[in-house]
Amino acid sequence: MSKHSTGDRKLLRQNLYNAKRLYADLPRQQLSVLRDLTVTLHLSIIKSEILYLGGKWYVSHSGLLRIAHRRRCAGIDTTIEQDTTQASVGRWVFKATVHKSPSTRFVGYGDADPSNVSPLVHGAEMRVAEPRAVNRALRKAYGIGICSVEELGFFAESANSSRQPKLPPQPANGNCGGPKVRDRLCQVIRQHQFDPNLVKSYAADYCGVKTLREAKREQVENFVAHLADWAEKDRNALLCQLNSYLPAKGSAA
C-alpha cells in the first residue's frame, strides 16, 4: 500500500470499513475486488459511487461522472433516437456521445421501456434511458470494466442511498416476477442482445396470459429459466422463435 498516495490509502480504508458495515457477510474475495477497484477508479462507497448488489460490484452514474470530470472530459451530448423510440408505448432510446477530447469521441446507446425498468418509474422511462446511454458511453471511453447500476432493472434513485437498495414490495400477481426475476430477465436480454418487446410477447404466450402483468411469479420464473437455458444451447433457434412475434408487414404499429 506504500506505493499509493495518502488520499488513496484513506479512501481504501474508508471503503473497506463501509463495505463491511453496509454489506453483511461480504466474501473476502469481494473485499479484494473492492481494493483493486478503489485503487483504479478512486470511487467512494459512502457517496454511492460504487455499490455491491447481488454478489457483484457496480459503478453508479454519479461515479462515472466523477471519473469523467477527473479525467477532463470535454463534453457529453445526448439525442433521442427517433427511428427506434416509441413514446406511445413508453419505449425510449437515447444516443450519448462522450467527447473524451476535442478529437476523440465514444458513443453509447441506452433504452428503457416498461419491461426493463422498475414499476416505480413506469411512465418516466425517458429518465432511465438517457443515463443508461451516457453510462455506456462513459464506460467505453474510460475503459470501466464493471457495469453501472442504472443499466440494471433497479430504480436509479434507489441506488443513491448509502445502503444497498431496498426494492419495493411486489403485488400478489408477481408484477413481471418481482425484482430479482425481472433483473435476471433483463440480464439475459442484454447478454444475448434480444429485442425486449419480442421477449415480452413470447413470455406472455409462454405463460398463457394476455399480458405479462397477469402472469404469476412462478410462471415468470419458469419462463426466465427456460429463456436462459435455450439462449445458451441454441441462440439461433430462439431468435427464430422470437422473430415469429414480429408484427406482420403493413400492420399497425
> For residue 156, what pLDDT is reported?
39
Residue 222, helix vs strand vs coil: helix
Q: What is the mean pLDDT of residues 36-41?
A: 95
Summarize pLDDT for 82-133 with one digit per residue, the tens: 999 999 999 999 999 999 999 999 999 999 998 888 777 788 899 999 999 9
CB contact at 8 A, 246 and 203: no
Q: From 49, 105, 103, select the one nearest 76 (Cα to Cα).
A: 105
What angle, rounded to 10 degrees, do the helices at 217-233 and 178-192 form? 20
* Cα dihedral across residues 91, 248, 189, 217: positive or negative: positive
Q: Is the pLDDT of residue 47 over 70?
A: yes
Phi, psi values for residue 98, rounded to 5°: -100, 120
Cα distance between residue 220 and residue 215, in whole Å: 7
pTM above 0.85, yes or no: no
Encode pLDDT of 157-180 as tens digits: 444 443 444 333 333 333 444 446
Question: What whole-number distance in Å separates Cα of residue 177 and Cα of residue 182?
Answer: 6
Residue 154: the pLDDT is 47
CB within 8 A of 203, min separation 6: which ones?
185, 212, 215, 220, 223, 227
248 pLDDT tier (thresholds 50, 70, 90):
low
Q: Are 199 and 227 in contact (CB under 8 A)?
A: yes
Residue 87 near residue 183, CB atoms below 8 Å: no
Q: Which residue has the higher pLDDT, 174 or 35?
A: 35
- Better-predicted residue by pLDDT, 197 or 30: 30
Residues 6+ apart with CB under 8 A from 68: 76, 98, 138, 141, 142
CA 133-134-140 angle, to 5 degrees, is: 95
- Span 35-44, mean pLDDT? 95
**Contact yes or no for 99/108 (Cβ under 8 A):** no
| pLDDT exceeds 60 at position 252 | no
